[in-house]
Amino acid sequence: MQTLEEMLQMARGAMEKSYSPYSEFPVGAVIKAQSGKLYAGCNVENAAYPAGSCAEQGAISAMILGGDTKIQEMVVMGNGKQLVSPCGSCRQRIREFADPETVIHICDKNGVRKSMTLDELLPVSFGPENLKC
């Protein structure tokens, strides 16, 4: 079983590999899948800024590629005075693969700044079950 400290370490490493020459704002994300495997992602920008991909999106893609489909726990890491929480688009992406009680840790390089459930991060959300009549 992976620990939160291992997730934080992976998120720091992901931030260091971020390609963010336009915003100069590296972000790393790590997913602990239901299987216990860890998957990391970093933000990747391009010259058509702000088009690019978020760290959370990269971690979700890695998880799917790795054969997992369920987020058990997640770390999102970025530097700044304010909390670096997932953007709206990433909140919806996380919602696709997580339960309302899944814990998301908002962190900086020093560690966890705030932990909350997905339901707290994205209340009254729309998910796959909403499409079933």
Render pLDDT for 20-48 as a digit per residue (tens, 0 to 9): 999 999 999 999 999 999 999 999 999 99
Q: How confident is the model at residue 51 (pLDDT cuts 50, 70, 90)?
A: confident
The answer, as to whether pTM is greater than 0.75, is yes
How far apart are alpha carbons 62 and 75 in whole angstroms? 14
CATH superfamily to which 4-125 belongs: Cytidine Deaminase, domain 2 (3.40.140.10)
Alpha-carbon dihedral angle through residues 82, 84, 86, 87, given to the nearest 10 degrees: 60
pLDDT tens profile 110-131: 999 999 999 999 999 999 889 9
Return the active site residues. Answer: 56
pLDDT tens per residue, range 58-114: 999 999 999 999 999 999 999 989 999 999 999 999 999 999 999 999 999 999 999
Residue with tokens 């953007």: 87
Report how far residue 38's alpha carbon sits from residue 16's, in angstroms, rounded to the nearest whole number.
Answer: 17
Query: Residue 1: what pLDDT?
Result: 43
Q: What is the pLDDT of residue 66?
A: 98
2 band by pLDDT with thresholds 50, 70 and 90 = low
